[in-house]
Structure formats: C-alpha cells, structure tokens
Amino acid sequence: MQKHNRHRIRNLSLLVVSAVVLWLLHGLAETALRDTARLSGWLLFGMIVFLAAYNVRKKLPFLPLGSSAAWLQFHIYVGLLTAVVFGLHIGWRLPNGGLETLLASLYGIVFVSGVAGLALSRSLAKRLTTRGNEVMFERIPVYRKRIASEVETIVLTSLDTSESTAIAQFYAERLRPYFSVTRNFWHHLLQSNRPRFALLSEMKAYHRFLNDDERLVMLDLEDRVAAKDDLDYQHTLQATLKYWLFVHIPITYALVAFAVFHLMLVSSFAGGAW
Amino acid sequence: MPTFESIQRPERWSVPFSADMSDKRVDRILTVEPFRTLDPKRFRGKVTLRGILKNDARLLRYGPGDIVVRQGDWGNSVFFVVSGLLRADLGAASSLPGEVLGRQKLRRKSLFEILAQLWNNPADPEVRDVESYRTDPRIGTREVDSQTRIYLQDVSAVLDKYRTATIAVGQFFGEDAALGRTPRQATVFAERSTELLEIRWQGLRDLMRRDDGIRAHIDDVFRERGLKWFLMNTPIFKHLDKDEIAEVVSQAEFDTAGQYDWAESFKHLVKQGIETNLEHEPVIAEEGHHPNGVIIIRSGLSRLSKRYEHGHRTIGYLTPGQIYGLDEIIDGWLSKTPKPLSASLRAIGIATVVVIPTRLIEKLLLENADRRRLAKRGKDARDPLTNSPKIDTTRINADFVDFLVQNRYVNGTATMLIDMDRCTRCDDCVRACATAHDNNPRFLRRGPIQNNIMVANACMHCEDPVCMIECPTGAIQRRVEEGQVTINDWTCVGCGVCASNCPYDAICIVEVRHDGGDFIRDDKKHAPIVKATKCDLCADQWGGPACQRACPHDALVRMDMSDIPKLTDWYTRNVAITLRVMTSGS
Ligand code: HEM
C-alpha cells in the first residue's frame, strides 16, 4: 500500500477512536453530574484556537514550528473531531439564542468550507495536470489577451483578403464575447465540455458558408477557441483552489472573535463555580 | 549558387584557454624542464607541443599569500610551478579556517535571530548590510592580471600556525581534480611571488599520451593520492587487506568519457530528440560486448540503456560509487562461459570510471565467495558480495527515468520535484523562500512536467557543479560536510560566470540595496553592486529548506537523485499499481 493511503487509514482510525473515547468520557462526566457544557466548551475552544493557529504558522515559515504538511494533517483530523465535540457541546440540538445561533452558523460555515476545501484541493489539483498547459494564475489574463488579439488579427487579415464578411460577422457575434472574458466557470468546475463542444460544432456548421480560404481561417480560429477554453479551465480550477480559503479564513476569525465573546458571557454568568 | 550561411568549422583550438599566452611566453616555457626535453617527434600532426602550450595552457602570476585553489573547489586543470614557491595546507585537525580563505562559515541563525526575522526583514528585496561588505581584516582581495585574487594577509603567521607542505619549482599539482573530476583536495597558496602554468585537462591528456615521463609521473601521483582512497571506500573492496588493495590500485585502469565543458552544448542538446542525445553520450561499455572488467563510476553520471526495437530505452542511471558489469562477470564465472553485457553504459555530460580487470575480480572476490549464494543472488534481497540491501530500480516509470536523464536532472543532489497531482498552486513554497531569502524567492515554481511531476527551476546542488568552475574568488563553494552549493555574498564579485555556466538557469544576478532601499554602488564608477544569488537550501535557517517545509500538501521535495530507493518511494507513493520498466531482456 502507498504511503498516503497508509497514513489516511491510520489517521482515520485514530479519529474514530478519539471520537468514541470523547463520547464515552462525556457520558461518564454527565452521569457524574459534572458541568459537561463547560468542559466540552473549553475543549472546543482550544481545538478551534489550534486550528486557527495554522494561519499564523503559515505566516512564519522561517520559524522551526514543524512542516506545514504535518500541521495540515493535524488540522484536518482535529478539525473533523471538532464536529463531535461541537455536537456534544450543544447537545445535538439546534441552538436557539441569537449569539449561539450565530456562533453555530459560523462554526458550520468554517467546518463545511474546510471539508469542501479539502475535497477540492485533492480533486482539482489532479485535474489541472490533465488539460491545458501549466500556467501561473497571475499570468492567465495576459495569455487570454494574447489569444484574443491574435484572433482579432486573424479576422482582420481575412477581412483584407476576402470579399465576404462571413468570418468577421461570426467573430463579432460569437467569438469576440467568448474571447473577451473568462467563461463557463460552472461547466469547467463540473468537468463539462458542453460549451466548448457547442461552439466548435457551431463553427464546423458555419463552414458551409465559407470558401476554401475562409475555411482554413476558421480552422485556425477553432484552435484558438480550444486554447482559450483550456485557459478558462485552468483559471476556473486555480481560482477555486485559491478562493475557497477566502471563506474559510475570514469566517475563522469571526468564529474565534465571537467564541471569545461567548466565553466571556458564560464565564461572567457562571460566576466561576467549578 | 547555394544560399546558406557559412562559417569556419570550429576546431579544437578555436578558443584558446587564454588569449594572453603569447609566443614569447611559450618560448620561455619551452626552456623549462620537463618541457625542454620532451621529444618533439612524439607530437606529430596537428597537436604539437607548442600548440598545447599556446592553446591549452596559461601563465598566471601570484603574489605572496594569494590563494591558488581551496579545498573543495571544482576545477579541471592541473598546475605546474614555473617559478616561486607554494604551500599546500595539509588539512586534518588544523586546516585553514574557511573565513581566512574568503569562505563564509556556515552558521545557523540563533533562535533570537530566527525570531528577529519577524520584525527585521526589510520590505525591499535584496537588502544587505553595507557594513558587512567593508573589509575583513584577515583577508584581502586584489586584482592581478585583471583577475580578482583572495590573499592571506599574514603568510608567516599562517605558516607558523598551520601544517603545510611546500610545492616547489618543477612540480605539478591538482592532477586529481583535473583527471578525476573531483573536488580539489587541498588548499594551495603562494608563499612567495610565484608563476604557475595552468594546463586545462585536454592539454594534460595530450601531454600524458605523448610523453611517458609525464604520464608515469601523473599516473603515480594520481593512483597514490586519489585512486587508492576511492577504491578502499568502494563497498565490494572494503574487506580486502592492504596488499590486495595495492594490487587493485596497481591494476586499475582509469578512463574519462564525455566533455568537461558539457554544460555549454547541453542546452542545445535537450531540444533534440532522445536518440540524438543518446548519440551524443560517449559509450563507456556497450550492450552485447563482453566485459573486460568491472566498471566503477568515480565521478559524474552515466546512463544505462537497452536496445528496444529501433531505438534505445533508458533503464536507469549510475551515480558515483556504483558498479556496472559485475553481474555478467559473476554469471560468466559460474557458468565458465563469458556473458555479454546486458545494457549499454554511456556518460551523461562527463563521467570518469575505474575499470578493474575481470581476472582480478575473480581472484579477489569470487573465488572466496559462497558459490551457492552467488548462483541464487537474483532472489537474494541483499548483495552477496557486500551484504548490503539491493536497489530495485524497476519500480519507476521508464519515461520518467528517461526524462530525468535526458534533461540531466539526475545531476541534482537536491532537485526540487513537485507532485502536480497534489500541488494546489498556492505558492506557499515561493513565499516561504522569499521570507527566508531577502524578500526575493530563489526559485521559480515553473519547469518541465513529466507525467505529474514538475522539476522546478531551483538550484539542484549538482553532483557535478559546473557553476563552480572558474569562479575567480571561490565565492561559490560546495560545503564539504553538508554538500550544499552556496555563494559567499561577501566575496562574490558579481561577474556572472557561475550564472552563465549553470546549464539549468538556476543562478540569478541581482542588484543589492541598502536599508534605505537604494542600490549600493561602487565608490569609483557608481555602478550598482551586483551579486549572484541562488537557492542555498536554507543553510542558515532551522529545520531545512523552507520550500519543502511550507508545502501544506506534501507535494514538494528536495530529492537526492542518487538515492534511488528514496526517489522510487516518493515517485510511487501515490501510484496504486507499481509500474514496471519494460526492457527487451526481462
Ligand atoms: C472547524 C474549525 C476550523 C478552523 C477554525 C479552521 C481554520 C483554518 C485556518 C485558519 C486555516 C489557514 C489557512 C491559511 O492561512 O492559508 C485553514 C486551512 C485549511 N483548513 Fe481549516 N479550519 C477548520 C476546520 C477544518 C476542517 C474540518 C477541514 C477539513 C476536513 C479543514 C481543512 C483545511 C484545509 C484543507 C486548509 C488549507 C490548506 C492549504 O491548502 O493551505 N479545516 N483552516
């Protein structure tokens, strides 16, 4: 078996065991009439602070704080374990107070975005290697503009040499909008080739209105359509890989802030009765 | 009229070693022993003695204290003392400290300095402390014949303090590095004003071919100094006694295949197809031929390939210390019928090899070995002669091996490999690198991709560091213990030779700034000071390369390409089925 699979199985087993142990301990504490909400609350808070600290670790790459990969592994499994602690903390019921509902929602968003982000990281990275050239995200607009201006030149040149405006018309109606911006985000994310296929089919069908020279020009344009589509694909996947963190991180900060507030409130009401 | 561009066909001496080697200087050398008494009749045809001296040699002057070579330098020339006197540092416990030689001492940052990077890191890229560039009292630099020299300030103090040996007029030194493509073994500096004749390896080779005296002399010194140590440390000979080792040393043959300056032609070669590239690699031993001995790689790299249909298939590569042809010799010995070689061995760039005759291998290794174990060694997980675990190279995809060899990435001892199936393109590696290196990343997350593996554009810390050849001040150096190739920012004169020598474009020349953000300029012409920069594997940081530590998805590694088990494990860690190399024979 390969290294990553081995690790996955080991870590998942550890996770399940920890979850069961926590559950049992919680049950025991309840029968012993302990203040379980306080225990699980502090545990949850500690775990969330640890999870949020990953952001700090990333900002300090030169400190000898362990590898980011090791952090992420802990992050994922501790993150998943928070679901059990969170469930125990709120007694597996939807909260009703305003602040509690807000806190639970923030937690829910961070948790779900984390799981989704992990799934995206693992699946999209693989898909990126299968289509189009490897491009730097920041350079994609430059390449797109380059293709667009090449296409414009091809069309203008064909206009100079041919009497018909068939190509220019097609360009104005169908191609210019296609090349001007990144398109078909959802199709690319869901791995659907429908828009590419549809546009290329339309171009093929248009051949019957063209003479031999124009057909060659059209073939040239079809290549660019495919190249631009590949670029859009890269853009969609790379953008998704980047931007999911724009949900996960800011909401984390909100969660930590409100959790501190929540802690202060409950501590002041409880009056320190341990 | 044919329309093509024509040029004079480049010949061996189209570009002489030095333009300063005038006829007058050559005449002078021809009055000095041993050149005076060399038999001109042995130098027939185009390669005359005069020609060698004029085109493959140069005369260099050194002042008292000037350093000629430092231990660990990379070079491919031999030196001959024309006048003056030199000293070689005998090393061991009392060897000259690196700082005295213009070397940076490897010093990890203290915990406080590591933390201080939090608030001390300037916002601008490539900021240097100007004070650190002001002269260190212990070393000096000076210009001699338009070359920058590092010199020892106080030669007599050095002589008192360190154990040195003299090298006098008429002696050669540096032959081991020139012939063996290995690092210089000792630091040599001038005690008095000295003139040296530096002969590049091609010239040395021709002198040795044509003069028995020079050959015998260089050969003796080379066997005694370099070869003996190497063979004693080769696993299959480790158990031999002193006399047996002496027998191996005396019968060993030495061979160099390939070009010393392979890096220049390499860039053009990569663009061509595999067969052309293979043709450009000189054959050391050919598939189907009978082995005349065991071949041990002493330096450089070599490709193993098998004929397959109309082409050749790369099945692996050998790195220094590895052995080729032993299996065939064992099979031949067991069955009493000689067995032909099952694969071809070719030099990638340049390789130097030592050949130990078959008869000697049979006598010293096979006759005493356990015959039954030898016969069943295919199934044995350990090598029957050395008892060390065997390396299985068949688990890596053949195209990937071909790609690594083709692009000569196998030269790397810390090649940056990125598994693009796991990389989320987050650039944490690039950011971490910039944070650890003057706000300017020392690599680009860019490079060719084979299957799902990218070889990123980062210094690989080569086995054969061609960047180190010709550095005028020895600022670029390989750390003897750790093996990283690093640049001493203080002694780097920004000449750019290393950057243009590096065939992988891994070295950048940058303009440096001071705290205020402006460029630091020289006091005469006010031109910006430039420095060579490259990946140093975070030698001064804690915990190893920041790029690797910063990768959240375990996608990036710095790989020693000679560690084939590690490479194989890494390559196959995500692959569910093990890929087998298809070879015609197995
Ligand atoms: C529930 C509490 C959680 C909190 C407070 C939290 C917080 C964070 C923070 C602060 C980061 C750092 C991002 C950066 O600086 O780049 C991060 C990254 C990440 N988290 Fe979470 N997280 C939580 C749960 C989870 C869960 C349950 C998972 C998945 C099972 C997860 C998966 C990830 C992944 C994959 C990354 C990004 C790694 C990368 O590509 O850089 N998180 N999280």
Closest chain B residue to A234 measured between Cα atoms? B425
Give contacts of A238 with chain B, Cβ < 8 Å.
425
| Rama region for B114: left / alpha / beta (φ>0; ψ in -120 to 50; rest) | alpha
pLDDT at A173: 94
CA distance B190 to B31: 23
Two tokens, residue B503 = 């065939």
Asked if residue B168 is part of any domain, the answer here is: yes
B421 and B322 part of one domain: no
Provide the CA A99 distance to its chain's centre, in angstroms: 28
> Which of B260, B211, B223 minimizes the C-alpha distance to B52?
B211
Residue with more model confidence, A45 or B180: A45
Expressed in angstroms and rounded, the spacing between residue A67 Cα and the centre of ligand 1 is 15
Asked if residue B569 is part of any domain, the answer here is: yes
SS3 A222: helix
> Which of A159, A134, A142 minimizes the C-alpha distance to A233?
A134
Query: Sorting pLDDT into bands at 50, 70 and 90, what band is A148?
Result: very high
Q: Report the residue among A73, A75, A106, A244 best suited for mutation to probe ligand 1: largest number of ligand atoms under 8 A from its CB.
A: A75
pLDDT at B110: 82
Q: For residue A2, give the nearest of B543, B552, B572 by CB distance.
A: B572
B364 and B466 part of one domain: no
CA distance A86 to A35: 15
Query: Sorting pLDDT into bands at 50, 70 and 90, what band is B77?
Result: confident
- Beta strands (DSSP E) in B440-546 are 449-450, 453-455, 476-478, 485-487, 508-511, 530-533
In residues, how long is chain B? 586
Residue B341 has pLDDT above 60, yes or no: yes
CA distance B307 to A57: 52
Cα distance from A177 to chain B (closest Cα, Å)?
Answer: 29
B69 and B187 part of one domain: yes
Based on the number of CB atoms within 10 Å of its own CB, is B119 exposed (0-12), middle (13-18) or buried (19 or more)?
exposed
Residue B80 has pLDDT above 90, yes or no: yes
pLDDT at B89: 82
Q: Are B326 and B377 in contact (CB under 8 A)?
A: no
Q: Are B341 and B290 in contact (CB under 8 A)?
A: yes
Q: How far apart are the first and last CA of chain B?
A: 55
pLDDT at A274: 40
- Where is B147: in which H helix or E strand? strand B147-152
Q: For residue A62, give the nearest of B114, B425, B572 by CB distance.
A: B114
B425 and B474 part of one domain: yes
**Helix, strand, coil share (%) of chain B residues, nearest 5:** 30, 25, 45
Mark yes or no for CB contact B420/A241 under 8 Å.
no
Mean pLDDT computed over B541-545: 87
B444 and B519 part of one domain: yes
Cα distance from A111 to chain B (closest Cα, Å)?
Answer: 18
Domain segments of chain A as ranges: 2-127+244-269, 137-240
Asked if residue B115 is part of any domain, the answer here is: no
CA distance B386 to B395: 23
Provide the CA A189 distance to its chain's centre, in angstroms: 10
Closest chain A residue to B573 measured between Cα atoms? A2
Expressed in angstroms and rounded, the spacing between residue A75 Cα and the centre of ligand 1 is 7
Q: Report the residue among A51, A251, A253 best suited for mutation to probe ligand 1: largest number of ligand atoms under 8 A from its CB.
A: A51
CA distance B42 to B48: 9
Mark yes or no for CB contact A58/B435 under 8 Å.
no
Two tokens, residue A75 = 């992050």
Q: Are B196 and B60 in contact (CB under 8 A)?
A: yes
Q: CA gyration radius for chain B?
A: 26
Based on the number of CB atoms within 10 Å of its own CB, is B335 exposed (0-12), middle (13-18) or buried (19 or more)?
exposed
Burial B251-278 (b: 16+ CB within 10 A, else e): ebebebbbbbbbbeebeebeeeebeebb
Mean pLDDT computed over B30-38: 87
Give contacts of B548 with chain A, Cβ < 8 Å.
67
In residues, how long is chain A? 274
- ipTM for this prediction: 0.92
Mark yes or no for CB contact A72/B553 under 8 Å.
yes
Q: How far apart are the first and last CA of chain A?
A: 49
> Which of B13, B469, B459, B406 minimizes the C-alpha distance to B260?
B469
Expressed in angstroms and rounded, the spacing between residue A245 Cα and the centre of ligand 1 is 8
Residue that is written with structure tokens 């992988």 in the block? B504
Peptide bond just before B34 cis, omega within 30 deg? yes
Q: For residue A134, give the nearest of B114, B118, B449 by CB distance.
A: B449
Two tokens, residue B448 = 């060719």
Expressed in angstroms and rounded, the spacing between residue A124 Cα and the centre of ligand 1 is 17
pLDDT in tens, B149-166: 788 877 888 788 788 888
CA distance A155 to A158: 5
Q: Are B313 and B306 in contact (CB under 8 A)?
A: yes
Q: By a Cβ cutoff of 8 Å, what residues of chain B touch chain A?
A: 114-115, 117-118, 420-426, 428, 431-432, 435-436, 445-446, 449, 452, 454, 541-543, 546, 548-555, 569, 572-576
Interface test with B, best of A68, A75, A236 (most B CBs within 10 A): A68
Residue with more model confidence, B106 or A123: A123
Asked if residue B227 is part of any domain, the answer here is: no
B238 and B206 part of one domain: no
Which amino acid is residue A36, in one-letter code?
A: T
Residue B583 has pLDDT above 50, yes or no: no
Where helices occur in B456-558 by DSSP H, the ranges are 497-501, 546-550
- Where is A262: in which H helix or E strand? helix A245-270
Asked if residue B170 is part of any domain, the answer here is: yes
Which amino acid is residue A227, in one-letter code?
A: A
Residue B148 has pLDDT above 90, yes or no: no
- Where is B437: in which H helix or E strand? none
B309 and B352 part of one domain: yes
Two tokens, residue B356 = 């130990």
Closest chain A residue to B542 measured between Cα atoms? A64
Mark yes or no for CB contact B575/A62 under 8 Å.
no
Give contacts of A61 with chain B, Cβ < 8 Å.
428, 431-432, 435-436, 546, 549-550
Atom 6 (ligand 1) nearest CA:
A51
Residue B4 has pLDDT above 70, yes or no: no
Mark yes or no for CB contact A68/B574 under 8 Å.
no
Mark yes or no for CB contact A134/B420 under 8 Å.
yes
Top-ranked range on mean pLDDT: pick from B223-237, B254-268, B431-445, B486-500: B431-445
CA distance B224 to B214: 15
Using CA atoms, how far residue B298 sits from B195, B321, B576, in Å, is: 32, 6, 36
CA distance A234 to A224: 15
Q: Are B405 and B303 in contact (CB under 8 A)?
A: yes
CA distance B282 to B266: 14
Lowest mean pLDDT among A215-229, B375-389, B436-450: B375-389
CA distance B256 to B260: 9
Asked if residue B356 is part of any domain, the answer here is: yes
Q: Report the residue among A54, A56, A244 best suited for mutation to probe ligand 1: largest number of ligand atoms under 8 A from its CB.
A: A54
Neighbouring CB atoms inside 10 A of B104's CB total 20
Closest chain A residue to B448 measured between Cα atoms? A134
Q: What is the CATH number of the domain that holds B334?
A: 2.60.120.10
Which numbered atom of ligand 1 lies nearest the CA of A118?
35
CA distance B65 to B75: 20
- Where is A6: in which H helix or E strand? helix A3-31
Expressed in angstroms and rounded, the spacing between residue A137 Cα and the centre of ligand 1 is 22
pLDDT in tens, A195-234: 999 999 999 999 999 999 999 999 999 999 999 999 999 9
Q: Are B193 and B62 in contact (CB under 8 A)?
A: yes
B485 and B544 part of one domain: yes
Expressed in angstroms and rounded, the spacing between residue A118 Cα and the centre of ligand 1 is 8
Q: What is the mean pLDDT of chain B?
A: 83
Interface test with A, best of B400, B424, B542 (most A CBs within 10 A): B424
B45 and B175 part of one domain: yes
pLDDT at B581: 38
Closest chain A residue to B454 measured between Cα atoms? A134
pLDDT in tens, A81-126: 999 999 999 999 999 889 999 999 999 999 999 999 999 999 999 9
Neighbouring CB atoms inside 10 A of B161's CB total 11
Based on the number of CB atoms within 10 Å of its own CB, is A98 exposed (0-12), middle (13-18) or buried (19 or more)?
exposed
Host domain of residue B258? 233-375
CB within 8 Å of B98: residues ≥ 6 apart: B104, B105
B253 and B174 part of one domain: no
Q: Are B414 and B461 in contact (CB under 8 A)?
A: yes
B342 and B441 part of one domain: no
- Where is A82: in which H helix or E strand? helix A68-89
| CB-based pocket (< 6 A), ligand 1 | A 48, 51-52, 54-55, 58, 72, 75-76, 79-80, 82, 110-111, 114-115, 117-118, 121, 245, 248-249, 252, 255; B 424, 426, 552
CA distance A139 to B407: 26
Q: What percent of chain B has pLDDT over 90?
A: 31
Q: Are B180 and B78 in contact (CB under 8 A)?
A: no
Mean pLDDT computed over B484-498: 88
pLDDT at B131: 76
Asked if residue B142 is part of any domain, the answer here is: no
- When divided into structural domains, chain B yields a total of 3
B303 and B423 part of one domain: no
CA distance B40 to A105: 94
